[in-house]
Amino acid sequence: MPSSVQGNLKKIKAGEKCRGYHLSGKLMSIWKTYKELTSLKGEIKTAGKTMKENIDSVHNDLSLCLPIYFPLMKLQHVTDWESLRKILQSKSFKGRGDHERDEFRDLSFWSADICPDDIESARHQAYDQVRHVVNAEIFQTEIKEQYASSPAFNKSASRYGNFRLSFPLSYLLSLYKTQHCRDEEPQLRILGTDIYKQEIAHYIVVHRPNIDQFNDLPIVPTAQNISGSMPFVYWMEETLFWRPESTSRSLKLKISEEDCQVRKADPPRSRRSKPWRKKRAYEPRCVWNELVVAFHLPGNGRLQLPMSHLLTNLTPCDVLQPYLRKTPMQKHEAKDIIRRLREEAK
């Protein structure tokens, strides 16, 4: 699907409608995103306008850009029932050779799966970073709860389907190495950044060595120790780390050097009433980061896994709005399907 380029950003289009922007080869910060959107020539589209508004409303908040790092021990692939059936029938994951975006062709997409203990630890660290602020102690619980509250950290619901497959990153890399790299080490490079209305998604691509397609992309860096401003994604002591700048879908608290207070709710973005939409409270919106790891599987290549591993690591999840697939189901329906699949496999 054709896309147009404005400055360094390329529009991501669905039909004739712009639904976001993409920058190749860089993991963009919140501030860099704002500057790139501001520098666009011509009319900025709805996604860019909304992202700028969201950054404007929270960019000075102390809750953002905290020096907190997550070890990336597991990845998750969330999908719907139709796609899950294909995965189980083939006992494998494959890339989309027909993807409408050239940079995403032949890739299998996975997202960060941060364990609950690391999330809880990060919430305590987030509070420690701002506890010096007046009134912070009063809002201690709220400060912790709003950190790691975005869809990127939601393990119980997803916008992509009702079925969640989760595996250790080391296991997936080992399979990829054996099946696609002739036992050479796979390479991890920075694929780029997607910008939507509220989400800034960072993409890392895993590919076999000695392939020219990704030569222009930077390798994920290796750090010897934590000091100063760290990269958003980096290796250290054979562990991959992720440093998101923003982890909150909504910043209900406004935290500055002066004090901590409840933030005023955003007004509705449109006065037009749509009868099929449920009435809901408008919360103060925030930008949030997502990390996506994509495995390159060209030429109908597949990442194969034993059926027992697929079923053991399969769990149901609720639907999160906005839902991006065709037909959602209730979590209990997905749970019943998984139970039947396991019984049939015995």
pLDDT at 276: 40
Please tell me the distance from the alpha carbon of residue 54 to that of residue 104, in angstroms, as a whole number: 27
Contact indicator for 241, 70 with CB cutoff of 8 Å: yes
CB 93 within 8 A of CB 177: no
**3-class state of residue 165 by DSSP:** strand
- Band of pLDDT at residue 277, cut at 50, 70 and 90: very low
CB 20 within 8 A of CB 26: no
The domain containing residue 134 runs over which residues? 7-267+281-345
Residue 235: strand pairing partners: 222, 240
Let me know if residue 258 belongs to a domain. Answer: yes
Backbone angles phi, psi at 176, to 5 degrees: -65, -40
Confidence of residue 19 (pLDDT cuts 50, 70, 90): confident
Q: Evaluate whether residue 263 is within a structural domain.
A: yes
301 located within any domain: yes
Confirm whether 274 is domain-assigned: no
Percent of the chain with pLDDT over 70: 91
CA 251 to chain centre: 18
Pair 231, 27: CB distance under 8 Å: yes
Q: Is residue 98 part of a domain?
A: yes
Give 1's pLDDT tier (boundaries 50, 70, 90): very low
56-94 confidence digits (pLDDT tens): 989 899 999 999 999 999 999 999 999 999 999 999 999
For 83, 86, 119, the CA distances from 171, given in Å and listed in that order, are 22, 21, 22
Q: Which tens digits make up the pLDDT trace of 284-303?
A: 789 999 999 999 999 889 99
Residue 186's CB: how many other CB atoms inside 10 A?
18
Give residue 17's pLDDT band: very low, low, confident or very high (50, 70, 90). Answer: low
- Considering the domain boundaries, does residue 276 fall inside one? no
d(CA 19, CA 182): 39
Q: What percent of the chain has pLDDT over 90?
A: 75
Rounded to the nearest angstrom, the gap between the alpha carbon of residue 342 and the centroid of all alpha carbons in its chain is: 29
pLDDT of residue 281: 54
pLDDT tens across 233-275, in order?
Answer: 999 999 999 999 999 999 999 999 999 999 876 555 554 444 4
**Based on the structure, what is the number of domains in the chain?**
1
In a domain, 273, yes or no: no
- Residue 1 domain-assigned (yes or no): no
Count CB-CB contacts under 10 A for residue 272: 6
